[in-house]
């Protein structure tokens, strides 16, 4: 894999991870177009580490407060016999909701890991999933404006978003688009829907990294030169940071339908290409 191709894949990953058009789907499409079929799921997850860095930098203030609440909540559980007050403040409740939401995602990823990995070799499946993503975004754009804040979240809200995120492991289904749709559907404010979606990507990416650890190291060992991988991660981090900021502005202007058009066009072209040339 050349340095230019690696950087290109990193930029694609960064932009499409947070813009609701499916990063995994685009990586599958571009890998086949560029003839990089030897690159597998392990490299894709490595690129997600770059976008993980982007989220950490963008939401570092929230993350510091969440870490503080983790230790504070742990202290309350260990040192007192009383049931801890998870609604003591916004970030404590947000922490608990993130933990709850990641459970269904982790279960789905573990149970259907082989199926999801096989789909990374099927560009035409990606086309159909992109059309579904476009439909979700269309409905998300026209859902009534919610007012629910982090302190108002419930266990059912977190489980629902986590289930939707689990389904979004399928290449072609946008993780950010699906989880933002889920949050808006549950009445989240637009700020909470985006913030919860992006923060939830952190444990999701880390879980995938742990689950696919052996595959990742195997692919790294076959690449030989790791310099392209390093620059791919940097490219994913920079483009990912810019994409987060861009999507937040777009959501405020209620312009998600433009991403619907994009997903439908790319999905349709991908399906057509498969039917004609394969």
Estimate to the nearest angstrom the gap between the alpha carbon of 151 and the chain centroid.
23
**Domain with 91 in it:** 3-277
Q: pTM of the entire structure?
A: 0.85
Rounded to 10 deg, the angle between the 155-167 and 90-111 helix axes is 40
State how far the Cα of 274 lies from the Cα of 170, in Å rounded to an integer. 18
How far apart CA 123 and CA 68 sit, in angstroms, is 43
CB neighbourhood size of 166 (10 A)? 25
SS3 of residue 187 by DSSP: coil
For tokens 């349709």, the residue is 268
Q: What is the pLDDT along the chain (278 residues), one digit of tens a residue?
A: 678 888 888 898 888 888 898 877 777 777 666 665 555 556 777 788 899 999 999 999 999 999 999 999 888 888 776 778 888 899 999 999 999 999 999 899 888 877 777 776 677 788 899 999 999 999 998 888 899 999 999 999 999 999 999 998 888 899 999 999 999 999 999 999 999 999 999 988 887 777 766 666 666 666 666 788 889 899 999 999 999 999 999 988 888 889 999 999 999 998 998 888 76
Contact 242, 188 (CB under 8 A): no
**Number of domains comprising the chain:** 1
pLDDT at 165: 93
Q: Which pLDDT does position 227 carry in this prediction?
A: 83
Crossing angle of helices 227-252/213-223, nearest 10°? 130
Residue 188, beta-bridge partner list: 148
- Rounded Cα gap, residues 250 and 239, in angstroms: 16
């Amino acid at each position: 894999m050349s340095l230019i191709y690696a950087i290109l894949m990193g930029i694609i990953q960064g932009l499409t991870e947070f813009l609701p058009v499916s990063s995994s789907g685009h990586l599958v499409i571009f890998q086949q177009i560029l003839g990089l079929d030897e690159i597998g799921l392990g490299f894709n997850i490595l690129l997600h580490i770059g976008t993980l860095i982007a989220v950490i930098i963008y939401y570092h203030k929230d993350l510091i407060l969440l870490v503080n609440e983790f230790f504070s909540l742990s202290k309350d559980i260990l040192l007192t016999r009383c049931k801890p007050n998870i609604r003591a403040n916004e970030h404590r409740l947000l922490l608990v909701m993130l933990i709850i939401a990641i459970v269904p995602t982790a279960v789905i990823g573990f149970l259907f890991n082989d199926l999801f990995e096989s789909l990374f070799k099927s560009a035409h499946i990606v086309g159909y999933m992109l059309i579904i993503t476009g439909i979700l975004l269309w409905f998300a754009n026209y859902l009534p404006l919610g007012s629910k804040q982090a302190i108002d979240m419930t266990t059912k809200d977190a489980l629902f978003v986590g289930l939707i995120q689990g389904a979004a492991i399928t290449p072609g289904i946008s993780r950010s688009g699906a989880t933002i749709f889920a949050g808006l559907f549950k009445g989240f404010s637009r700020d909470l829907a985006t913030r919860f979606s992006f923060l939830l990507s952190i444990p999701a990416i880390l879980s995938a990294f742990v689950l696919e650890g052996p595959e990742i190291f195997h692919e790294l060992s076959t690449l030989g030169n790791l310099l392209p991988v390093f620059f791919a991660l940097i490219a994913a981090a920079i483009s990912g940071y810019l994409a987060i900021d861009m999507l937040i502005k777009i959501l405020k202007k209620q312009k998600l339908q433009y991403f619907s058009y994009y997903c439908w066009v790319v999905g349709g072209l991908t399906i057509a290409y498969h039917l004609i040339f394969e």
